[in-house]
Amino acid sequence: MILTEDLTAIDRQLAPYWAGLKGARIFMTGGTGFIGRWMLEALAFSDCDAEVVILSRDPDAFAARAPHLASRFEFVAGDVMDFAAPPGRFTHVIHAATDASAALNASDPRRMFDTIVTGTRRVLDLGVERQAGRVLFLSSGAVYGAQPWEVGHVAEDWHGGPDPRDPKSSYGEGKRAAELLCAIYGQQFGLDVVTSRIFALLGPLLSLDIHFAAGNFIRDAMAGRAIRIESAGTAVRSYLYAADLTAWLWLMLLRAPRGATWNMGSEEAVSIADLARRTAAVLGGPGVEVLGQADAGWNPGRYVPSTAAIRSRLGVAPTITLDAAIRRTAIFNGWIE
């Protein structure tokens, strides 16, 4: 099974470091989302005895989808904007909440911004109150705004940003403000916060029916349909396999120096049109149709990170190629080679 293979590989990589969480009690937001669930699956698969208390708006619905995780971890009902903090001390905090929803960003940008900023402040307050030893904040490559075409791989010292006059920037600007809060809490309250800036992803558990192009392409190719691109397909992205991201995130929580802020993504750049063609070729789809309309997304340009910092400091590297990621995601969703 693809997921078991991936979790075995993650556990092999993290085996020397899980001991750092022996006896830990972790408070986590966003544990029922794509990235959060991958982190929980990896921890549950290991022999680490860490406790995790997960804030969820609907614990019962998640328990129905993943009963093995519901029985291993503790879930509490609440919203990141106004939750009642569970009792007891937490040794670590993982703040992964924020729906990366294009629909919400377009229809209710104020709510998107408020959820990110207010939610982050609430979580940081909890970290200070409960004397957490380490906070891991999941940010986004969206903090860089439009990446210049001449910048092949954007690094952490790039000081660009989203256009503050455009409501579509609410997600990226929200993450920027949240990162500022993390820095403030580090300096003013002595909170140990590390931040991951996550770029585009691919892998099992990714929904194929939301706004992520890679998932939509796999869905269409699996169904035997031509992949349709509404835009010209010139936007450039890169895709890190979810299992690689999961290992990197746990390693960052356990090993990154205080205040570290690192990109997490693949450096293998590919245009959206070429991604569609590769998906069709890997999965045997009938082809690609490019309509050439104006790109209505928040970033019609380049979105590719430099990961030199995390690779040099933690010794990590992607282990799954883009073609393999496409194939493994499809197999997980029922495609037969």
Neighbours of 230 (CB within 10 A): 15
What is the distance between the terminal CA atoms of the chain, rounded to a whole angstrom? Answer: 14
State which CATH number among 3.40.50.1970, 3.40.50.720, 3.40.50.300, 3.10.50.40 fits the domain covering 2-205+239-267+306-322. 3.40.50.720
* Confidence class for position 107, pLDDT limits 50, 70, 90: confident
Q: What distance in Å separates the CA atoms of residue 63 and residue 53, rounded to the nearest whole number?
A: 14
Q: How does residue 210 score in pLDDT terms, banded at 50, 70 and 90? A: confident
Q: Per-residue pLDDT averaged across 164-177, rounded?
A: 94
Quote the tokens at residue 319: 């282990």
- Region 310-316: mean pLDDT is 98
User: Could you write out the three-class secondary structure of 236-302?
Assistant: EECCEEHHHHHHHHHHHHHHCCCCCEEEECCCCCEEHHHHHHHHHHHHCCCCEEEEEECCCCCCCCE
Q: How confident is the model at residue 104 (pLDDT cuts 50, 70, 90)?
A: confident
Q: What is the pLDDT of residue 222?
A: 96
pTM of structure: 0.96
Q: What is the mean pLDDT of residues 260-282?
A: 97
pLDDT digits (tens, 9 = 90+) for 56-88: 999 999 999 999 999 999 999 999 999 998 999
Annotated domain spans of the chain: 2-205+239-267+306-322
**What confidence score (pLDDT) does residue 101 get?**
67
At residue 301, the pLDDT reads 87
Does 146 score more than 70 pLDDT? yes
Average pLDDT estimate for 263-272: 97
Q: Residue 99's pLDDT is what?
A: 67
**For 19-57, what is each residue's pLDDT tens digit?**
999 999 999 999 999 999 999 999 999 999 999 999 999
- Which pairing describes strands 270-271 and 236-237: parallel, antiparallel, or unpaired? antiparallel
pLDDT at 141 > cutoff 90: yes
Q: What is the pLDDT of residue 134?
A: 98
